[in-house]
Structure formats: structure tokens, C-alpha cells
Amino acid sequence: MNDNRPIGVFDSGLGGLTVAKEIFRLMPNERIIYLGDTARVPYGGKSEETIRRFGLQDAKVLMDKDVKMLIVACNTVSSVAMDYLQTHIKDIPVIGVVLPGARAAVLRSAEKRVGVIGTAATVRSGSYARAINNIDPGIKVYCKPCPLFVPLVEEGLIENEITQMVVRHYLYEMVDLGIDCMILGCTHYPILMEVIQSTVGNRIQLVDSALWTAKEAQNILQAMKMTTGDDVNGLQSSKFLVSDITPNFETVAETLLGVHLPGIEKVSVEELEEKQP
């Protein structure tokens, strides 16, 4: 049995393309419909109520396109709104990025000291600490919001001196806490992987939630016999929806995905706002 419908993936903006990239790498025949709410990004500094509302609107746009699975490729929405989304969406599997990242960190931390970096809302929610301590209550979890990382990535300042300074500013104290593993708890952060790794040193393993989320999606699709039977190039047959096409949109998208984005369409904010619980 196969299910040839696309996988729905959404993020507050373009950061979730790091998850899309891993999906195409693991499951090259799967098509996705990606929604990036580029008009309303960032979500990370917004209230819980707004993050939940935006998250459900994004999910509903994709549900209306008959997706077979929903991947919440945004740590902020996954941290604040997973239960809310799951109460509204019952027909298809809904997965977020927090649990897969937390599970990977638990397996990796021999010292039982894990660092988590993310947006202010992600850190405030305590989602990663909860997920990690549900698996192993003995693990100490240290969280740090790094709000400047997202704009640096959006500006394409990846290997820049300014980025190195900001990374040092946020992460030096993390290193002193004796962690041996650090979760990149924001979809933009894998893009800064190299500069983060060189700043914290090789003793600390970095966990990229994007990679582990794609693996979880693959496991679920296989277990539920919902993988595609189509022999197509998933990336080239995928659709990318955004709520705003900004001047540096293509550059950022190509940095995140590593290739030129095919099939970009605009979904207006009005259309998003029409979606009610």
C-alpha cells in the first residue's frame, strides 16, 4: 500500500526548509507542499496565543491541499502549539521538531548535561526540558534564547565576523556549564552549524532537529504504509507557498535548501486569517 499525496511542511518563514532538505535527502521521491509564513515571521518573539493561532492557520492551509502528514518544521510552534494542533487535526499524523531532537540528545549525552538554544518563545515554553526529562529525568537541561541568530541567517551573514561575535556572546557561558550535547532548537540554526561548532568546540555534539524530524517522518510513513509509490523527483515536483515574496527571498531559500526553489506561489495573509479553529 502506498499514499501518493504530498507531505505538508510549514514554518514561520524559510527556516523550515532545513527540514525539507532532510526530507528530500532521506525520501527523494516524496513530494511536499511547504508553507512559509514569510509575511508574519518571526514568531519567536510573539505571545503564545498568537503563535497558536498562526500555527493552526498555517496547518489549515496545508490540510486544504490534502496532505497525508503534517510536519511542524518550526521549533516555536512545536514548542507552544503541538497539543493545540493535535486537538484540531485528527485525520493525519502531525509531528513537530521538539521530540525528535530531544530523543537524539538523550541518546548522545553521556554526561547527562544538555544545552538547548532557540527563540525566546521556545525557551520560555520549557518544551525541550520537558521532552528530555520525560525520557530521562536525570538529565540537566540548560536553555538559552539566541534571538539574533535568525536575522543573521536571513541577512546571509553566515561566516561573518559579526556572526562569530554574536555566537561567542550567547554561547560562551553554555560551554562553561559542562554540557556535552547541544540541541539547535530553531530551524535557522543548522545554517550556523559550522560557526557554532567552532565556537563551542568539538567536545560538544550539536543535534540538528531538522535531520531527526525527517527521520521520524520516514519511520511513521513506513510504519503506516504511507510512503509514496510515485517514481518522481520529489523536490522538483514539490510546491512552495509563502505569504510574502521579499527581495532577498531567493537567496535565503537557496542558502537553506542548497538548490533553486521550484514552484513558488503566494498565499495572502488574508487567506491565512480566514482559517478559523
Contact between 74 and ligand DGL by CB under 6 A: the answer reads: yes
Report the residue number, 136 or 155, with the smaller CB distance to ligand DGL.
155
Contact between 52 and ligand DGL by CB under 6 A: the answer reads: no
Which three cell numbers, joined as nine digits, stand for 111? 554526561
Q: Catalytic: 181?
A: no
User: CB atoms < 10 A from the CB of 174, how many?
Assistant: 20
H/E stretch holding 107 reads helix 98-108
Whole-number minimum distance, CB 147 to ligand DGL, in Å? 8
User: CB atoms < 10 A from the CB of 74, how many?
Assistant: 34
Whole-number minimum distance, CB 247 to ligand DGL, in Å? 19
Whole-number minimum distance, CB 20 to ligand DGL, in Å? 12
Whole-number minimum distance, CB 112 to ligand DGL, in Å? 25
Whole-number minimum distance, CB 111 to ligand DGL, in Å? 26
Distances (CA, A) of 100 to 83, 131, 184, 185, 226: 16, 9, 12, 11, 20
Q: Residue 175 — φ and ψ, nearest 5°? A: -60, -40
- Residue from 143, 146, 181, 186 carrying the catalytic annotation: 186
Q: Catalytic: 146?
A: no
Of 38, 119, 163, 228, the one binding ligand DGL by CB under 6 A:
119
How far apart (Å, rounded) are the C-alpha atoms in residues 195 and 244?
A: 29
Of 6, 8, 15, 100, the one binding ligand DGL by CB under 6 A:
15
Distances (CA, A) of 213 to 38, 71, 187: 22, 8, 11
Q: Given the rule CB under 6 A, which of 42-50, 60-68, 159-167, 191-199 is the region that contacts ligand DGL?
A: 42-50
Residue whose C-alpha is closest to residue 122's, from 106, 103, 89, 146: 146
Which three cell numbers, joined as nine digits, stand for 137? 529525568
Contact between 76 and ligand DGL by CB under 6 A: the answer reads: yes
Contact between 11 and ligand DGL by CB under 6 A: the answer reads: yes
Binding site for ligand DGL (CB under 6 A): 11-13, 15, 41-44, 74-76, 119, 122, 150, 186-188
Catalytic residues: 74, 186
